[in-house]
Chain A
């Protein structure tokens, strides 16, 4: 009897330690959304984000800087644009939870329930110009920012100043 309790405790203790305490953004951070919701509004920043990155078919598509800007601006309905670096940094989850991507465990620094389709093997473009050439980017693998030249193909998540009424 005692042994089985001990065994149970030994099993449960590490589970309790590593179970994510606070996996995602607080419940009021994003306006309520359903599984099929396409746009999510941040109640803090009031920005409305495209829930999916720019896709080719149903796969996130890396684009060069020029194509990234065009992909957002030509989106329908009008009003979408590439976010600035400071805007994209407002999506960063400083306490990331693990997710399987490309056969490995990564820690995407974003709310993976609000933005489940966020591959982190490349950074994401922002509209903020880098000092020399190209633009600044945000890595959701690390939460860091870095300048990239415009010809590199990176992921794209568009943003809107106003909500989209479906």
Chain B
């Protein structure tokens, strides 16, 4: 904030000096135009929104489609992203309870099922499985997209892309999130995370690992 104000002051001073020198006037204008590029793009976005609002854009409008029960709104990261990949800033740090039923992620402060459910299910069945889960208290739920991404271990060159000591028996395949793919389509689809490939993709029948807790 302070740095930005200083930058702005510097720009203002530069503007005055350059403004006095007629031959350098062109340069000053160029730099000013460069700064206002952000404005131009913002305005383009506003135009697009206005067009979508009056129906003149041919893009899908999802207002008529309702997200099913259990759908999460857009979720933004509230903690650092644990990542064992070379160069990443934050290493994963898990704690497993003595009974080996839950895995606590000390970075994201989420509590995960240590073992997942057997078998692939529909989204609706997955949601119910988490709601009915009573392991160490209730309030289990399907993870959001970014929460499930936080479990990926993309540093592994072979096998399932997850830490096997924190999550033994993890399956090769996709796991459900409760984040719908937006703009909403008919029927509504949900994001899944593929622990075979280490990818984020649109979900079909998937495995289930429930989470609880927030940042």
A86 and B48: CB pair below 8 A?
A: no
A106: which B residues are within 8 A, CB to CB? 59
Q: Within 8 Å of chain A (Cβ to Cβ): is B119?
A: no
Contact of B85 among A29, A36, A84, A105 (CB under 8 A): A84
Contact of B51 among A37, A105, A161 (CB under 8 A): A105
Q: Which B residues between 163 and 215 are near A, CB-CB below 8 angstroms?
A: 179, 181-183, 191, 197-202, 215
The answer to whether B80 and A84 touch across the interface, beta carbons within 8 angstroms, is no
In the complex, are the beta carbons of A127 and B52 less than 8 A apart? no
Q: Is A146's CB within 8 Å of the partner chain B? A: yes
Q: Find residues 15-60 in chain A having any chain B CB closer than 8 Å to their own CB.
A: 15, 17-20, 22-23, 25-26, 29, 31-37, 42, 44-47, 58
A18 lies within 8 A of B63 (CB): yes
Point out the residues of chain A lying under 8 angstroms from B198, CB to CB. 85, 128, 131, 136, 145
Is B52 a contact partner of A105 (Cβ separation < 8 A)?
Answer: yes
Known: A18-B53, A105-B57, A166-B3. A85 touches B75 (CB 8 A): no
Scan residues 90-107 of chain A and give those whose CB is less than 8 A from a CB of chain B: 90, 92-100, 105-107
Could you count the A-B residue pairs with CB atoms below 8 Å apart for me: how many are there?
Answer: 168
CB-CB under 8 A from B182, the residues of chain A are: 94-96, 107
Q: Which residues of A contact B38 (CB under 8 A)?
A: 35-36, 116-117
Task: Encode B38-58 as 1/0 by CB contact (under 8 A) with A.
Answer: 110110110111011111011
Q: Which residue of A lies closest to B149 (CB)?
A: A89
Are B57 and A98 in contact, CB atoms less than 8 angstroms apart? yes
Contact of B201 among A32, A87, A144 (CB under 8 A): A144
- The distance in angstroms between the C-alpha atoms of A21 and B23, with both chains bound, is 49
Alpha-carbon gap, A119 to B118, bound state (A):
41
Interface residues of B in 63-84 (CB under 8 A from A): 63-64, 73-83
Q: Interface size on B (CB < 8 Å)?
A: 66
A86 adjacent to B152 (CB under 8 Å): yes
Min CB gap B173→A, angstroms: 16
Tell whether A112 is near chain B: CB-to-CB under 8 Å: yes
For residue A4, CB closer than 8 A to chain B, the reply is no
Closest to B38 in A: A35
B137 interfacial contact with A, CB 8 Å:
no
Residues in B with CB closer than 8 Å to A116 are 38, 41-42, 45
- Name the residue among B53, B61, B150 with the largest chain A CB count within 10 angstroms: B53
Cβ of B21 within 8 Å of any chain A Cβ, yes or no, is no
Among B53, B77, B181, B183, the one with the most A-chain Cβ atoms within 10 Å of its Cβ is B77
* Contact partners of A99 in chain B: CB under 8 A: 44-45, 48
Q: A94-B191, A95-B74, A127-B85 are in contact. List 7 more A-B contacts (CB 8 A).
A: A32-B1, A35-B36, A58-B34, A84-B87, A86-B88, A95-B182, A116-B45
